[in-house]
Amino acid sequence: MTQPSGSSPEKTLSQATKDRRATPSFLPDPVPENDLKKILDAGLSAPSAYNLQPWRFVVVRDAEQRARLRQAAMKQPKVEEAPVVIVACADLEGWRRGDLDEVIRLAQHNGYGDEARYASTRKNISSLFDSAPGAAGGLAPDFAVWANRQTMIAFTTMMWMAEVLGYDTAPMEGFYEDQVKAALGIPAHVRVVALLAIGHRKGEDKLFAGRFAMQRTVFAEKWGNPIP
């Protein structure tokens, strides 16, 4: 639901979760730089396993780039209409290309942990992520799934921050990954996870299609026990 953004008070998260719809169509009104920064900062403050932050984001605002991205995103008009589209990616090689070093440098800088801990973190992560999925006693993850999981937390945090600031959003998985990569120059070792359009909706909001009753999807103590 659109409200004035910028200097107006932020919505509560409770209100935002009630109001949010996957916006079908956007006005061209821009998202000011300071709001975009807040949205990005919120996402980048998300948690990730080992604090490894495998996510990468391409912020697409340029009209020609949005037009190219739209073609890659099954020609969905909202990709070109929205003033900002954030393309969430997962870097499958980041941990070995400097991210692990940076995680440890940050921890040292912030006085978190000690040298023994940094050494064991480096050893454990390297052996885990260098193993085939399911190895290491079943602990080694399918790395693409692992990186996707982390990235979606940051992506979703950005979506809620945009909603709290009074913007409308549209998450999208309807795109051809190879085409998105070609349009944005994304390297081979990076996966495209999802697109997030942000702006102000044009016309009526999409109707609420409903959600499953809690009893269907939430269990108490054991699988299948309905929550009272």
- Backbone CA torsion sign across 145, 150, 153, 156: negative
Around Cβ 149, how many Cβ atoms within 10 Å? 16
Residue from 32, 40, 136, 171 binding ligand FMN (CB under 6 A): 171
- 77, two tokens: 């008009």
The three-class DSSP label of residue 45 is: coil
Cα–Cα distance for residue pair 143/135, rounded to 1 Å: 12
- Cα 117 from chain centroid (whole Å): 29
CA distances in angstroms from 172 to 63, 75, 175, listed in the order given: 19, 12, 8
Kindly state the number of chain residues that form the binding site for ligand FMN, as judged by CB under 6 A: 10
Q: Is 202 in the site for ligand FMN (CB under 6 A)?
A: no
Residue from 47, 133, 174, 203 binding ligand FMN (CB under 6 A): 174
Which stretch in 52-60, 83-91, 172-180, 215-223 sits in contact with ligand FMN by CB under 6 A? 172-180
Cα–Cα distance for residue pair 38/46, rounded to 1 Å: 13
Residue from 172, 176, 179, 184 binding ligand FMN (CB under 6 A): 172
Q: Is 32 in the site for ligand FMN (CB under 6 A)?
A: no
Q: Which is nearer to ligand FMN, 21 or 96 (CB)?
A: 21
CA distances in angstroms from 45 to 20, 188, 213, 216, listed in the order given: 22, 26, 31, 32
Which stretch in 58-66, 100-108, 165-173, 183-191 sits in contact with ligand FMN by CB under 6 A? 165-173
Which residue has 């954030």 as its token pair? 86
Site string for ligand FMN, 205-224 (x = CB under 6 A): -x--x---------------
Site string for ligand FMN, 58-87 (x = CB under 6 A): ------------------x-----------
Q: Is 22 in the site for ligand FMN (CB under 6 A)?
A: yes
Q: Is 184 in the site for ligand FMN (CB under 6 A)?
A: no
Query: Which residues of the chain form contacts with ligand FMN (CB under 6 A)?
Result: 21-22, 76, 171-174, 194, 206, 209
